[in-house]
Structure 1
Amino acid sequence: MSGLRASLIGSLIVALVCVAGGAKAQNEKLAQGEYLVRAGGCVTCHTADAARPFAGGKPIATPFGDVYAPNLTSDRATGIGAWTDAQFIRAMREGVGRNGERLYPAFPYTAYTLLSDDDLLAMRAYLATVPPVRATTPRNTLSFPFDQRWLMPLWNLVNFTPGRFVPDPSKSAEWNRGAYLVEGLGHCGECHTPRNWLGGLKSGARLAGADVAGWRAGNLTADRVAGIGAWRDDELTRFLSTGAAPGRAHALGPMAEVVAASTQYLTPADQRAIVVYLRTVSAVPVQNARVRTSFGQASRVDVTSLDASGDGARLYAAACASCHGMTGEGIVPFPALIHDGVTGALGTMTTSNLVLVILHGVNRKTREAHALMPAFGAQFTDEQIAALGNYLTRQFGDPRAMTDAKSVARLRAISQ
C-alpha cells in the first residue's frame, strides 16, 4: 500500500511539474508575441480609437484611395477570433484572407512573408488574448481598377517575392537580426521606399525616402546629405527610443506613431542591430540636396513692429515663439528650428512635413518624454499656414523651399 501511495504521489508531482512547465512555456510565447506585435507596429495601423486597440477602422491613405485596417481583436464575428493558425499565417505571408479574398498591399504581407513560423505563431497567440471588440471594418474607397481584388495576383506577380528570411552567412548575427527587423518585421521599406505607378516598391531606390499620407518619410540610406550617413550610432538609437535626435530630426506624423507604439519598446540589442544593418544600405543621393547647416539663422527682427496681420513673422510670434523662442533657437525642452529637419525641408526642398505639422501638431509619448505641439489647422486658414511656413523656411531653414495655399489645402484634405 505504501508503495502504491508513493507511486501516486510521484505521478502527481510529475503532472504538476509538467503543468507548470507548460504554463511557463505558454507565458513565454505570449510575451514573445506581444514583443513581436509591438515591433511590427500592428497597433499603429489597426487602431482608430485609442480606447479600442486593434479594433481596426483606421483609414490608410494611398494614391488610389483609402484602405481601412481590419479588426485584429479576438472577436469571432468581426475580428480574427475564429481564424485558424494556418489562415493567419497565410494572410501574413501570402496576402490571402480567411475566405480566400486577396488583401491589398497597404497591409505589408510583402514584408511579413520573411517571418519565421515561430514568430508568426507567437504573434497569433498574443492577438488571441486581445479582448474582443465588435467592430465592422468600413468599406475601402479605392478608385477603379484598384478596387478589383481579382487583379491582385497580377500585382503580386510583378511586385511580390514570397519566401522566408535567409541569413547571410558572410554577415554577423547582429547584421542578420537587423536585416530581419528592417526588411521583415519592421517593414521599414513600406514607408521609406518610393513606389512605382502600381504601388509596388522601387527596388532601385530602397529606403531612399517616400511620401506617406502626405508626409515625407526620410532617406535611410548611407547618403551623408539627404540620408543618415552623417548620423552617429547613438543618434540613431536615441531616435528609435525617443523620437528625438537634437540637431538631426524629430519624429512627426506616422513616424511619431511608430516610435510611440513600436521602436521605443525594442531591446537595446535590437535597436543596435537595426543601426548595424542600415549602415550597409547603399547610399541613394537626392538631386539638389544641401546640408541643412549651410542655411538658416536666428531671427533678430522685432516682429512686434510688423503691421501686416497675415505676415508669417507675426503669425510666428503669436503661435510659435512661446515654445521655440522669438529667435527660433528653442526654449528647453522645445527644439530649436534653426537647421531643423522640418524647417530645413529635409535639405531637399520638401515642405510637406512642415505644413502637416502646423496643421496637425505633435503628440508623441515615450517613456522619456511626452512631446506635444498644438494643431493649428482649425485656427489658421490655408493662406496663413502658407505664410507661416514660408517665414519658417526663409528664416530658419531652406529658403529655396516654399509652399502656397493650394498645396496646404491639398495636404489638409489627406486622411491622417
Structure 2
Amino acid sequence: MRTGHKMKNAALAALLLGIVAAGASQAFAQSASEPQAALIEKGRMVATGADCMACHTVPKTGKPFAGGYGIVSPLGTIFSTNITPSKTAGIGNYSEADFSRAVRLGIRKDGAHLYPAMPYSAYAEMTDDDIHALYTYFMNGVEPVDTAPKQETALPFPFNVRLSMAGWNLLYAHKQPYVEDTTKSAEINRGAYIAGALGHCSSCHTPRGLLMGEDGSAFLSGGFVGPWYAPNITSDPVSGIGGWSEDELVQYFRTGHADGKNQAAGGMAEAIQNSLQYLPESDLRSLAKYLKTVPAIRDQADDQPAHAFGTAHSDEANIRGVYGPNEHNSLRNGEELYSGYCASCHQPDGAGSENQAYPSLFHNTATGAGEPANLVAAILNGVERTTGEHEVLMPSFGPGSYVTPLSDKQIADISNYVLKRFGNPKAQVTMEDVAVARGGGSVPLLAKMQPYILPAMAAAALVVVLAGCILAFVLRRRSKASVAIG
C-alpha cells in the first residue's frame, strides 16, 4: 500500500511538474513572441518610411513586394525584384548580413551589383537596429510569393555591365550609418534621418551630374525625374520651402495638398500615398523642422516665391457665343481650350473646387514656378493619389486618355494661358517642351552617348592594337639593325 501510495504521489508530482513546465513554456513563448511582434511592427514602419512598397509592388494588381514594377530611367527601364521571403523567387535565403549588404551597399547575395534606382546610397545611413527590424519584418511579416517577376532588367551596353557600378559606388556611394549630431535637437536629428536614410529625398530633389550621381553642392535644390521636376526644398524663402509654415509642410506630407501652396503629383504623390501619410505626426513634424534647417539655395532667376503668383481671372465673357453650339473645331486657342477642358473642375476663374480637391491654379507652385515642367506633366499624365479615405483624380490628356488626348500644340496653348492668367507669366511652354515630356523627359548626356560607346571602345581597342603592332615592328627593326652592326 505504501508503495502504491508513493507511486500515486510520484505520478501526481510528475503531473504537477508537467503542468508547471507547460505553463512556464507557454509563458516563455508568449514573452518571446511579444518582442518579436514588436520588432516586426517596427520593421513594417521602417519599410513604410523607406517606401519599399512603391517600387517593389505593381500598383493595383501586384502582390505586396513581389516586384515587377518598371522604373523608367534615362538609361532604360529597371524592373524591381521580388523581395518577399520566398526561397525560390525572393530573398528567403538571405542572411541578415546578406540583406544588409544589399540594402546599404547595393550588392546582392550572388555578388551582383544593384542599380542605384534602388537608393542604397541613401539607405547606407540606416542604423543597425533599423536594418535588423527591417530584416525581421521581411522574413516574418511578409507573405512569400513564389513567382518571379515576368520582366527582368535588360539595359543596353555598357549599362548592362553591373560590375561597372563598383566604380560608380566609389564616386557616389560612401555614406555610413547615421550618427546623431549632438549640436542639434532630437527632432532635427530624427528629421535628418527620415529625409536622408529612409525617405531618400535627395534621390529626386538633388540634381545629377554627367554620370548620374547627385551633385552634393546643390543638395535638395531641385532636379528632373523624367518629365516631372522635383522642386527646391531647401530653406530658401523664395526658391525653396522657407515660406511654408511647419503646419503647411505637415499637411502636405499627410494629404498631398497644402492650401495656397502645392499639391502632390507624379512620384511625390506615390511617396505620400505609400509612405508619408502613414508616419506618425512626430515624424512628419521632425521632417518639416529638418527641411527648414537645410542650407538655402536660391535660383537667381526667382524674384518671388512660386506660390505667390496669380489671381482669379475669367475670360468666359469674352468667348461665350463666339462660335455656334454645333460648330466643329471651336476650341482654337489657349483660353478656349481652357474653358473646354479645364474650367469645369478648376473653375473659369481658376479658383478650383470648394474643397480644393481640384486645386486653385493661382497661389500654386505648379503654375508659379519658373520651370513649368510639372504643369505640362500633370496635363499629360494626370494626377492620382489616395490619402486616408480621399481620392484625388485628374484625368490625363496624353496617350491613352479616357477623356480626350490633346496634341502638343494644344497642351502648350493651355499651359501658356494658365501661366499668363494664373501663374508665372515669365514661364513659357513650347511644343518641343511638350514633346520632350511626352517622351519621358529630357535625355541626359550619358544616355545620348550610349550608341557611340561600343564603337568608340572598338576604335580605341583598334588603336591600341595598331600601336602595339607598330611598336613591335619598330623594336624588331632596331633589334635586326643592332645585330647587323654587331
Q: Same fold (TM over 0.5)?
A: yes
Q: CA deviation at 1:179?
A: 1.3
Q: TM-score, normalised by structure 2?
A: 0.81
Instruction: Select which of 58, 64, 75 maps to 2:86.
Output: 75
Aligned residue in 1 for 2:205: 192
Query: Of 359, 368, 378, which residue of structure 1 is paired with 2:380?
Result: 359
Matched, 1:258 2:280: no
Which of 385, 391, 400 aligns to 2:426? It is 400
Partner of 1:46: 56
Write out per-residue CA displacement over residues 184-225 of structure 1, whole angstroms, 9 at most, x where no aligned residue.
Answer: 011111111111111111111111111112211121111001
**Contact residue 262 and residue 307 of structure 2 kept, 8 A:** no
Structure 2, unpaired ranges of 5+: 1-9, 324-329, 442-486
The aligned length equals 412
Maintained 8 Å contact 1:310/1:387: no
Partners of 2:126 and 2:335 lie apart in 1 by: 51
Mapped contact 1:93–1:162 kept (Cα < 8 A): no
Query: Structure 1, residues 142-196: CA drift from partner, whole Å, max 9, x if none?
Result: 3443332121111111111142111111222221111111110111111111111
Structure of greater Rg: 2
Matches of 2:277 and 2:297, distance apart in 1 = 27
- State whether structure 2 residue 101 is matched by structure 1 residue 101: no
- Check conservation: 1:94, 1:162, Cα contact below 8 A: no
Q: Alpha carbons of 1:153 and 1:293: their partners in 2 closer, same or farther (altered >3 Å)? A: closer
Q: Deviations over 1:29-59 (max 9, x none)?
A: 2111111111111111122242213222222
In structure 2, the partner of 1:158 is 171
Contact 1:300–1:327 (CA under 8 A) maintained in structure 2: yes
1:216-261 per-residue CA deviation (whole Å, 9 max, x = no partner) reads 1121111001101011000001111101001111011100010010
Task: Check whether the contact 2:234–2:296 (CA below 8 A) recurs between aligned residues.
Answer: yes
* Partner Cα separation in structure 2 for residue 400 and residue 141 of structure 1: 42
Matching residue of 1:23 = 33
Which runs of 5 or more structure 1 residues have no equivalent in the other structure? none
Task: State the alpha-carbon separation in 1 of the partners of residues 335 and 93 from structure 2.
Answer: 58
**Alignment partner of 1:204 is 2:217:** yes
DSSP-derived class of the 2:367 partner: coil
User: Equivalents in 1 of 2:189, 2:310: separation in Å?
Assistant: 40
3-state SS in 2 of match to 1:223: coil
* Conserved 8 A contact 2:307-2:365: no
In 2, the alpha carbon distance for the partners of 1:213 and 1:131 equals 32
The Cα offsets for residues 110-166 of structure 1, whole Å up to 9 and x where unpaired, read as 011111222122222222323415133634353443332121111111111142111
Moved more, 46-55 or 249-258: 46-55
Offset, 1:300 = 2.9
Q: Which of 328, 342, 358 is the equivalent residue of 2:350?
A: 328
Secondary structure of the structure 1 residue equivalent to 2:126 = coil
Structure 1 distance, partners of 2:58, 2:331, is 38
Q: What corresponds to 1:343 in structure 2?
A: 367
Tell me the distance in 1 between the aligned counterparts of 2:87 and 2:17. Answer: 44
> Hey, what does 2:305 align to over in structure 1?
291
2:391 corresponding residue in structure 1: 370
SS of match in other structure, 2:335? helix
Most deviating of 400-409 and 245-254: 400-409
The 5 Å alignment of 1:381-400 reads 381-400=407-426
Deviation of residue 92 (structure 1)? 0.6
CA contact (8 A) 2:86 2:144 kept: yes
Flag the structure with higher helix content.
2
How far apart are 1:90 and its partner, in Å? 0.7
SS in 1 for 2:366: coil
Cα displacement string for residues 332-381 of structure 1 (whole angstroms, at most 9, x for unaligned residues): 1222111211111x2xx212111111111111100152111111113211
Contact 1:56 1:137 in 2 (8 A): no
Match of 2:44 in 1: 34
Q: Is the deviation greater in 13-22 or in 146-155?
A: 146-155
Change (3 A) 1:331 1:341: same
Say if 2:88 and 2:146, in contact at 8 Å, map to a contact too: no
Q: TM-score, normalised by structure 1?
A: 0.94
Residues 245/205 of structure 1: CA separation in 2 closer, same or farther (3 Å cut)? same
Amino acid at match of 1:222: S
